[in-house]
Chains A and B, each alone.
Chain A
């Protein structure tokens, strides 16, 4: 049990798994994202997700970015998150995390509609209404207390998946951490999918960014054991974050995991199939 348990209702799951950074940076660093998008534009046409393989043609570059991200975490994010969570009272911290979650709902609703996931759009919409009113702008979470459906926490990367786009190559983005070609396009588009950014003027729109950054710090601390284990205790933290990100991301997009595995009891397991990450039956021997 135990292992990697990096999520929470009020948080963007793969960002938490991602050993590096909170989704606020997605807004804070559009330039970097743009650079990354152009870097990966026009990528491979195969779909590694189908075979559960790792498709990592930019590994050398990715590893350099990974070392950079690790430095950012070690020198900045990790210490700041420890300071932030020790200074700010827990109730306020939780309120900020919920606020960030609530502010991300409009974009999730847009993406749900684009995915033709009307049920998800409706559920997120109901949650938004309840938490914005009864929950005083989203600082409280009466929706969850009332037993309403969990937020979908979707993104435009998932929309692209729903539209049939392939996963593409694995990419580690500066500050943002593990991603794929498809997810990176999604991050870029999500800079524009949040309707709030069109409604709010300059100072107010910064609330979302600020809450997102603060919420990211809370999550860095909350899952610090998991993230530290991946980033600092693994003998190859790059490969470890890559496999964990890809497995979790595919699970989120594909629903249940089981189908993708193969029986390790089948012969190839101990033998020839070493290079592939497919889950096979180990008893096939």
Chain B
């Protein structure tokens, strides 16, 4: 957090020192670089976890830390609720975001053992609508590489990713379907959803 602010300050200070901020298009170029820088850190953290060879529970905990640090968990969680998000009180929303973070971390983190011996490489960045898409390739042993994109935005006030798209399959869209199904099954009971999310995934 503090390191992020510091880094951004340094970049901003550096840019203005160079007079870049006066140039048209400079802000965009800067954001591309920043989006890539964010995902570079995500990827290097993930690669470290993959290479660590630690037990799965530790990997899951590490994944949760990466997710919480570089991802905008509140906005991801909120958008998986769809219109139901408006029904939640502030306290419920905090509980939901918290439960959602754990659920996603367990569900996706437990797949890390399939990544042992593999690695991820950042490929390119491009501006798409109001965000940046950072594309990376995943190389796993004995398998052809596949594409994972991170959608990065600074609209939260920080540079954070708000989606992860694996060969076209968006985490946020897939989880919106899943959370929607869970909510339906519980007749729209948010409390029941939150308490069940704490143990599922």
**Which residues of A lie under 8 Å from residue B82 when comparing CB positions?**
270, 273-275
Roughly how many angstroms separate A7 CA and B167 CA in the complex, as a whole number? 9
In the complex, whether A51 has a CB less than 8 A from a CB of chain B is: no
Roughly how many angstroms separate A4 CA and B169 CA in the complex, as a whole number? 8
Decide: A263 and B129 in contact? CB cutoff 8 A: yes
Q: Which of B3-11, B16-24, B73-81 sits within the interface?
A: B73-81
Decide: B174 and A247 in contact? CB cutoff 8 A: yes
Decide: B171 and A3 in contact? CB cutoff 8 A: yes
Decide: A265 and B162 in contact? CB cutoff 8 A: yes
**Given A235-B182, A264-B75, A281-B153, do A2 and B109 touch, yes or no (CB 8 Å)?**
yes
A-facing residues in B154-170 (Cβ within 8 Å): 155-156, 162-170
In the complex, whether A61 has a CB less than 8 A from a CB of chain B is: no
In the complex, whether A206 has a CB less than 8 A from a CB of chain B is: no
Q: How far is the CB of A243 from chain B (nearest CB, A)?
A: 5
**Given A265-B130, A265-B155, A273-B82, do A243 and B177 touch, yes or no (CB 8 Å)?**
yes
Q: How far is the CB of A204 from chain B (nearest CB, A)?
A: 29
Decide: B173 and A251 in contact? CB cutoff 8 A: no
In the complex, whether A152 has a CB less than 8 A from a CB of chain B is: no
Chain B, interface size category, equals: 35 or more
**Given A3-B108, A243-B173, A247-B169, do A236 and B153 touch, yes or no (CB 8 Å)?**
no
**Which residues of B lie under 8 Å from residue A144 when comparing CB positions?**
144
**Which residue of chain A has its CB nearest to the CB of B156?**
A283
Decide: B153 and A235 in contact? CB cutoff 8 A: no
Among B126, B167, B181, B182, find the residue whose CB has the most chain A CB atoms closer than 10 A: B167
Decide: A263 and B153 in contact? CB cutoff 8 A: yes
**Which residue of chain B has its CB nearest to the CB of A11?**
B144
In the complex, whether A27 has a CB less than 8 A from a CB of chain B is: no
In the complex, whether A189 has a CB less than 8 A from a CB of chain B is: no
One of A236, A258, A263 near B149 (C-beta < 8 A): A258
Roughly how many angstroms separate A283 CA and B109 CA in the complex, as a whole number? 25
Chain A, interface size category, equals: 35 or more
**Given A258-B128, A274-B82, A281-B130, do A7 and B146 touch, yes or no (CB 8 Å)?**
yes
In the complex, whether A259 has a CB less than 8 A from a CB of chain B is: yes
Roughly how many angstroms separate A252 CA and B167 CA in the complex, as a whole number? 8
One of B79, B181, B182 near A270 (C-beta < 8 A): B79
In the complex, whether B84 has a CB less than 8 A from a CB of chain A is: yes
**Which residues of A lie under 8 Å from residue B138 when comparing CB positions?**
1, 5
**Given A263-B131, A270-B86, A271-B83, do A1 and B177 touch, yes or no (CB 8 Å)?**
no
Q: How far is the CB of A223 from chain B (nearest CB, A)?
A: 9
**Which residue of chain A has its CB nearest to the CB of B120?**
A1
Decide: A1 and B46 in contact? CB cutoff 8 A: yes
**Which residue of chain A has its CB nearest to the CB of B146?**
A7
In the complex, whether A203 has a CB less than 8 A from a CB of chain B is: no
**Which residue of chain B has its CB nearest to the CB of A151?**
B144
Decide: B114 and A283 in contact? CB cutoff 8 A: no
Contact with B along A248-285 (1 / 0, CB 8 A): 10111000111101111110011111110101111111
Q: How far is the CB of B122 from chain A (nearest CB, A)?
A: 13
Q: How far is the CB of B110 from chain A (nearest CB, A)?
A: 8
One of B83, B120, B128, B173 near A259 (C-beta < 8 A): B128
Contact with A along B79-123 (1 / 0, CB 8 A): 101111110000000000000000000011111101100001000
**Which residues of A lie under 8 Å from residue B63 when comparing CB positions?**
2
* A-B contacts besides A3-B166, A13-B167, A283-B130, 11 pairs, CB < 8 Å: A1-B111, A7-B167, A225-B114, A240-B178, A240-B181, A244-B169, A261-B170, A281-B129, A281-B162, A283-B155, A284-B130
A-B complex: 9 closest residue pairs judged by Cβ atoms: A251-B168, A274-B82, A9-B144, A236-B181, A283-B155, A274-B83, A2-B111, A282-B75, A282-B79
A–B pairs, 5, beta carbons within 8 Å: A2-B63, A3-B171, A5-B138, A281-B155, A283-B155
